[in-house]
Structure 1
Amino acid sequence: MQITFKTILILLLMACSIDCHSQTNQTKIKNNIFDASSISQNSIEILNGFSATPNKGVLNTYTVILPEYESVVYISTIGRDKILDGMNRVFSWAAKDLKTIVSQDFKPDSKAGGDPSRNGLLALFKLKNNEYLLLQGVASPKAMSYLVIADDGKLSIDLATFGVDTVSGDIPLITYARGANVYEVFQQAWKNAINTKALKGRTAMRHEKEYPEIFKYLGWCSWEQYRTKVTSDLMVDAMQKIEKSPLPIRWVLIDNGHEHTYKSAEGMNSSRLLSFKANPETFPQGFKPMMEAKTSKIKWTGIWHTMNAHWQGFHPEHEVRELDPYMVKISKNGGLDVLMPKGDSVSSKMFYNTLIGSAKKEGFDFVKIDNQNRQLAFYQGMSNPVEIVSQHAQSLECAALELSDGLMNCFCLDLLSLMNTKYSATSRVSVDYLLNNEAKAKSHLLQSYQNTLWMGQAVWPDHDMFHSSDKFCGRMMAVSKAMSGAPIYLSDAPVDFQDKLVLPLCYSDGELLRPLAPAIPLPESVMLSALTSPQAYRVVAPLQHGAAAFVAYNLMHPSPTGNVTSAFTTKDYEAAGEFIQPKAESWKAPKEGLVYYDWYEQKGGKLENEYKFDLIGFSDKLIQLSPIKKGWSVIGNSNKYLSANAIKSIEYSNKKLKIVMIESGELVVYNPSPISCSVAQKIDYLGNGLWKLYLPEAQKNFEVLITVKN
């Protein structure tokens, strides 16, 4: 067959008609009504040739017709009518219907600090045929859409800019997906959005981004322990104590408190930046002492800033005068004058190049950026705030890529931030962690996993810092961070480090054991109101060599008086690979079966249908399931939470097992027959076919040959 240019063109057009069907499907909008009840495939609604001028910031409203459904999860912040900020408090509100979510007595999270917002980012419906339907807003460079629940439970879509300028063009309105696989529904809705012409190249899938080398190692952050009381002496002292600690902490982040700001008794609400230098009173020598405290162990340092430069932007009497042509004065309610970057691309790029460049000049290797989604409210009522903030987000991404070795996104649990993560590979997915607060810890854990379902499409989910010395959940937080695959950083005072809880996270050089994909809730947990239900909330993360790590939590608050009984099964194993990118075939249990390993109990055996257990009070259970091949199963280094990931390679044969460990230590394997190993200092039988081998410690690329005894 002769391949002509015309043939190639036809094939390309056919491919586009498949891959880009979302932009060519017949519209589901008529008379400002979006008919979601007729959705049968994954797509996106684009308003072709749209033109409108905002009315109180909103371009148009579309009524939604929904199919019959049996339950819903609504993703929104707190504060009944809030949409413009507060977006590090994004909750997964699970209920039987939308009306319940906006009812006065619906308060499933006592620590949320307010009522669920009626303005949502996305809504997941469990349909009566056991399929899922996801409706998700879209933040394009010109406008953003979000869902709105009326008091009677009816749903609509608002398309807004929060500004005054007319918007014209082909504008994405809503992305949606329907199917039996809840994970595919989230992925397809995300792909629909980011592959539109409007969003192309503005963000990417998680696997398409380069994960920063720094965040592959254990770190430490000043915030939760010291908050704004940081000083040069305190930071140097902390770094010196970290250097002497047995914990291999490789980077240190100085958080809020170091800034050179205008002094005000009103604190954060009027805090404005004077310069990018350190506070001259608490850092009299600037950041030089911190840089001199770096060692071969503490290789990297990071610094905190906000998207506005500081909480309320620049003070009019600031010292960075070279930025004056690129900033605009904004008068906030109450007469507070602040300076913010102008909305044009030149001003935006200059501002963020200067901000990130200042960190580089001071010697910092990466930057944490806070307060991202609150920026929209500053520009409310101006030309087009969505367009301005989108430009700023793109400028930040480019500046961080060019001028630093990593960007840590914080306070960014919104679609406008997420849909502008062009290069950055990590973002916060939860409210701040808070020391020794049981209720807040439960809420934090739930948010972290639930928000990963949508945010984890584009980024690795940062679960925030934690205290290993937390009396309620030190170990629980360590395990959840391990399951995230994202940056892991302590915030204890160095004298309070709990080594035995931290060392299972990493190797002797501080490199973290990371899953193949971030942990996500198992399907039945996705729709669970975990803080009000006496049921286990269960999550899974895929590991190397076909193994999977599972955690079950008792998150009900207050904790139920009785035990919560749960289990992990072969069917659960088959969900383990669903969040791997790029998407691969669903996992299947091997013919020879699976071995379970209870990490806390240090016991296990061949899985016979299920492994059942009880959760008492605020607690969790960490289980690994590993495949059996030729009679063997490799649990891995039992000193590490993600045991299987400590194994570099495995060669199976009927009588022999050859393993290369990334770093040697204790090794647990399964075989029904007795085994021998010449390099093992001792072998213990744990029962049920499990053997623990005691090997030399901390040797890289350590080879182990295990044989079945005759």
Structure 2
Amino acid sequence: MVLGNEIRSNGLQSILSRISVTVTLDTGSTIPLLFSASDETPGMDERGTYTETNQTYGNEEDTAVVHLRFRSYETYVLTSVQGELISANDFGKQRCFSAQNGIILHIEEMGQVDGLMANYQHKDWWTRPHFNHDWSTLPERTQSLLWSKDASYFHLLPVCGPEFRTDVCGSATGLQIRVSSHQGGRSKCKTLSFVLGIGTDPYQLVEQHVDAALHALDYPTLPRAQKPYPEILDSLGWCSWDAFYHQVNEEGLLIKAEELKAAGLPVQWVMIDDGWSQTIDKKLSAFQADQEKFPQGLAETVRRLKEQHGVRWVGVWHTIAGYWGGIHPESPLAKQYSDYLYNNARGSLIPYPDAARGFGFWHAWHSFLERQGIDFVKVDSQSAVLNFTKHEWSIGEAAAAAHQALEASASLHFNNTIINCMGMAAENMWHRPKSSVSRNSDDFVPQDEFGFAEHALQNAYNSYYHGAFYYGDWDMYWTKNHDDIQNAVLRSVSGGPVYFSDAPGNTDASKIWPLIYQNGRIIRCEQTPSPTADCLFLDPTKETVPLKLWNMAQGSGVVAAFHIGKFTDEVKGSVRPSDVPGLKGEQFVLYEHFSGEMKLMRLNEQHDFVLQPAQCALYLFIPIVGAATPIGLTDKYIATDAVSEVKSEGATVSLSLKEGGTFRFVSAGKEIAVRVNGESLSVVSVSEQLYEVDIPKLEGKLTVVLSVSE
């Protein structure tokens, strides 16, 4: 194989040069193809200069041909696959690709690596990480593959295009890249298959690959960085699921809402989860709420939540098929909206997998919900699209149609505010046009004594690649639970929604306040987090290392550390400001939330720590500015979020605070005066150079002036 100069020079040549091709027929037989021709042409587009290499593979009988096109830019290559099976004539027996793994690219002899982390679809709905260096153990349905070798990072991102989906898995001798339509009768294939790139920053690498692939596909789907975060989900929420499960009803919702109001917790939105709908045999039978559970109708429940209990927004749950089993075929609903519903081969009735026709169903239901006062939706069971349409539609077509129809309606009625859920299969991730929030892991299971370890592991490592597409929803949690503090800290760094699901009588408000402001706004980090580089290729549930996640807040670095090992020993770890990529500055204040420990550090200086089982720590790295460095409101987990508009002029530092509370700052000065909105406040010395001021919770923006004298 001959590739362009850019790829030759950066190490990808050795990987791509070892590709061989086989095709699988729907009869189950496999045809190995032989390399037959190659050509190379230079080019340029808005993404830079590239070299395009076309490789042709065929068999001696000329019944199968596959063309591989490698468009090689400086640090990555976009690979497209075009294949055709040729039959003797159009009226005889036809040769067709197998619906699954119709074309397979084999990459032999991948060699030893220094580290490896893959994200694979371990259930129909969810992905989790894999860390084994042995290529043969790489699981089927791998959706992102990162490895390191000789101080470089390599990333392979399979693509789900308009029709075909690509997956990666290991083989006895290397890798297999598998292309599937999940539809029978296809004799042709044309798809962008994967992106492969190399770099020194693993976090920029995955974002570059997602952006490049979406651009090449010319999709309406946008990467996360170009999607607005929903206003509703910037506030604290409560969800009915783990409080009531399927027994949710009007009475229980109003009792819980009254409890939250009495506690003074500013819950701004309520999600009415599974259990509210009218169903028969796990199939939707009506748009209206279950009459026994909601005797006055959904609208009355929503009205009382808003008018009597101060809830600003109410959402409801449904699945991408209406309910788990779709629409009940004998219901009046099925008859009234038959033009918008599809009856698959096994008799399941679902919104039509055509964007225009499917929109008709969602528009009708969402119109009804909007009239009841509903403001947004959580849409579950999204990866069931394949299960409902397998063999009948190509997976790309079915998923694109399902999501375009759903989002067109949600945009019209709910300002496109959707919590996408149970949808981490590639076909879902690649085909949501505008929605920006998606569940990032399997469910939080409060009854599982050891559930936090797997929940944290999935969220942490899934976020590496999922965060390039979406803001992650890290699920609800309980404020009274064996893992309540760890769950709260995990969500404080998630960059996504914060909502809890305690049953009546069980909410511990003290576990909520560190996550929110008085007005109910959540304290949300600026990015989606990822494991720090030193644990990116390690499994903290099995090795004696802490799980560490990094993020940013108001120009400061955030690193959360967790002990999630399945053993009883303590774990030792270290943090440094350079754990946070892109953090600006040379000198920093380190501040740990739980201990109040503070120290001054250089960018690459190391701070060691020890965690006991089920313990976590939360570190902030604040660039030192002028005569005093504000830490922020230290009664909040992400203290620095409250600080903005910092100005340093000689011995004076001024700043704005979002609200009052316990404000701490660092200064080497001997005498310090603090004024808030012009009023002097007393200053307490906490430890050497660490000071604290108790700032009243006044209305409006607070202006803080720190005056330092030597």
Same fold, TM exceeding 0.5? yes
Paired residues for 1:424-435 under 5 Å: 424-435=435-446
> Could you tell me which residue of structure 1 aligns to residue 568 of structure 2?
560
Write the distance in 2 (CA, Å) between the matches of 1:346 and 1:695: 56
Residue ranges of structure 1 left out of the alignment (5+ in a row): 1-13, 79-84, 102-116, 265-270, 576-585
Determine whether 1:607 maps to 2:590: no
> Could you tell me which residue of structure 1 aligns to residue 368 of structure 2?
358
Write the distance in 2 (CA, Å) between the matches of 1:483 and 1:499: 19
Write the distance in 1 (CA, Å) between the matches of 2:565 and 2:458: 14
Paired residues for 1:630-649 under 5 Å: 630-649=626-645
Q: Please, what TM-score do these two structures have when normalized by structure 2?
A: 0.86
SS of structure 1 residue aligned to 2:332: coil
> Could you tell me which residue of structure 1 aligns to residue 52 of structure 2?
25
Write the distance in 2 (CA, Å) between the matches of 1:286 and 1:28: 63
> Could you tell me which residue of structure 2 aligns to residue 228 of structure 1?
246
> Could you tell me which residue of structure 2 aligns to residue 46 of structure 1?
80
> Could you tell me which residue of structure 2 aligns to residue 583 of structure 1?
none
> Could you tell me which residue of structure 2 aligns to residue 497 of structure 1?
507
> Could you tell me which residue of structure 2 aligns to residue 74 of structure 1?
118
> Could you tell me which residue of structure 2 aligns to residue 189 of structure 1?
209
Percent identity reads 21
Determine whether 1:288 maps to 2:326: no
Superposed CA deviations along residues 55-78 of structure 1, whole A, max 9, x for unmatched, are 244431211235434232221133
Write the distance in 1 (CA, Å) between the matches of 2:341 and 2:249: 30
- CA separation of 1:49/1:153 partners in 2, compared to 1, >3 Å: closer, same or farther? closer
SS of structure 2 residue aligned to 1:293: helix
User: Does the 8 Å CA contact 1:595/1:626 hold for their aligned counterparts?
Assistant: yes
- CA separation of 1:648/1:325 partners in 2, compared to 1, >3 Å: closer, same or farther? same
- CA separation of 1:140/1:694 partners in 2, compared to 1, >3 Å: closer, same or farther? same
Superposed CA deviations along residues 107-129 of structure 1, whole A, max 9, x for unmatched, are xxxxxxxxxx42211221222x1
Flag the structure with larger Rg.
2
- CA separation of 1:695/1:142 partners in 2, compared to 1, >3 Å: closer, same or farther? same
Q: Residue 676 of structure 1 is aligned with which of 673, 677, 680?
A: 673
User: Does the 8 Å CA contact 1:34/1:64 hold for their aligned counterparts?
Assistant: no
Amino acid at match of 1:148: C
Q: Which has the higher contact order (CA 8 A, sep 6+)?
A: 1
Paired residues for 1:185-584 under 5 Å: 185-196=205-216, 199-262=217-280, 264=281, 271-295=282-306, 297-320=310-333, 321-332=335-346, 337-405=347-415, 406-471=417-482, 473-544=483-554, 546-557=555-566, 559-561=567-569, 563-573=570-580, 575=581
- CA separation of 1:291/1:630 partners in 2, compared to 1, >3 Å: closer, same or farther? same
Write the distance in 2 (CA, Å) between the matches of 1:649 and 1:655: 17
Q: Please, what TM-score do these two structures have when normalized by structure 1?
A: 0.86
- CA separation of 1:256/1:698 partners in 2, compared to 1, >3 Å: closer, same or farther? farther
Write the distance in 2 (CA, Å) between the matches of 1:158 and 1:441: 33
SS of structure 1 residue aligned to 2:702: strand
- Measured after TM superposition, the shift of residue 487 of structure 1 is 1.0
SS of structure 1 residue aligned to 2:491: helix
Superposed CA deviations along residues 582-637 of structure 1, whole A, max 9, x for unmatched, are xxxx33433xx111111001231212622221101122110111011223211011
Write the distance in 1 (CA, Å) between the matches of 2:57 and 2:408: 40
- Measured after TM superposition, the shift of residue 677 of structure 1 is 1.5
**Greater fraction strand:** 2
CA RMSD of aligned residues (A): 2.5
User: Does the 8 Å CA contact 1:219/1:252 hold for their aligned counterparts?
Assistant: yes
SS of structure 2 residue aligned to 1:607: strand
> Could you tell me which residue of structure 1 aligns to residue 93 of structure 2?
none
Write the distance in 1 (CA, Å) between the matches of 2:112 and 2:247: 51
- CA separation of 1:142/1:475 partners in 2, compared to 1, >3 Å: closer, same or farther? same
- CA separation of 1:290/1:632 partners in 2, compared to 1, >3 Å: closer, same or farther? same
Determine whether 1:166 maps to 2:186: yes
- Measured after TM superposition, the shift of residue 344 of structure 1 is 2.9
Superposed CA deviations along residues 32-55 of structure 1, whole A, max 9, x for unmatched, are 69899x997312101357679432
> Could you tell me which residue of structure 2 aligns to residue 598 of structure 1?
592
Write the distance in 2 (CA, Å) between the matches of 1:527 and 1:155: 19
Write the distance in 1 (CA, Å) between the matches of 2:397 and 2:348: 20
Write the distance in 1 (CA, Å) between the matches of 2:226 and 2:660: 32
- Measured after TM superposition, the shift of residue 142 of structure 1 is 1.3
Write the distance in 2 (CA, Å) between the matches of 1:698 and 1:21: 56
Write the distance in 2 (CA, Å) between the matches of 1:680 and 1:224: 47
Superposed CA deviations along residues 202-237 of structure 1, whole A, max 9, x for unmatched, are 211212112111001000000112111111211222
Superposed CA deviations along residues 451-500 of structure 1, whole A, max 9, x for unmatched, are 111111121111000111112x2111111112112111110124222112
Write the distance in 2 (CA, Å) between the matches of 1:21 and 1:300: 49
User: Does the 8 Å CA contact 1:680/1:694 hold for their aligned counterparts?
Assistant: no
- CA separation of 1:194/1:56 partners in 2, compared to 1, >3 Å: closer, same or farther? closer
Amino acid at match of 1:74: A
Write the distance in 2 (CA, Å) between the matches of 1:178 and 1:66: 18
User: Does the 8 Å CA contact 2:144/2:155 hold for their aligned counterparts?
Assistant: yes
> Could you tell me which residue of structure 1 aligns to residue 13 of structure 2?
none
- Measured after TM superposition, the shift of residue 241 of structure 1 is 2.0
Superposed CA deviations along residues 393-415 of structure 1, whole A, max 9, x for unmatched, are 11112211111131110011122
SS of structure 2 residue aligned to 1:666: strand
User: Does the 8 Å CA contact 1:301/1:366 hold for their aligned counterparts?
Assistant: yes
> Could you tell me which residue of structure 2 aligns to residue 11 of structure 1?
none
Write the distance in 2 (CA, Å) between the matches of 1:41 and 1:625: 31
- Measured after TM superposition, the shift of residue 343 of structure 1 is 2.8
Superposed CA deviations along residues 546-570 of structure 1, whole A, max 9, x for unmatched, are 211111111111x332x21112113
Superposed CA deviations along residues 431-452 of structure 1, whole A, max 9, x for unmatched, are 1001143422111111112111
Write the distance in 1 (CA, Å) between the matches of 2:398 and 2:439: 22
Write the distance in 1 (CA, Å) between the matches of 2:437 and 2:275: 23
User: Does the 8 Å CA contact 2:85/2:97 hold for their aligned counterparts?
Assistant: no
Write the distance in 2 (CA, Å) between the matches of 1:163 and 1:680: 72
Determine whether 1:655 maps to 2:651: yes
User: Does the 8 Å CA contact 2:124/2:425 hold for their aligned counterparts?
Assistant: no
- Measured after TM superposition, the shift of residue 169 of structure 1 is 6.7
- CA separation of 1:246/1:277 partners in 2, compared to 1, >3 Å: closer, same or farther? same
Write the distance in 1 (CA, Å) between the matches of 2:385 and 2:375: 25
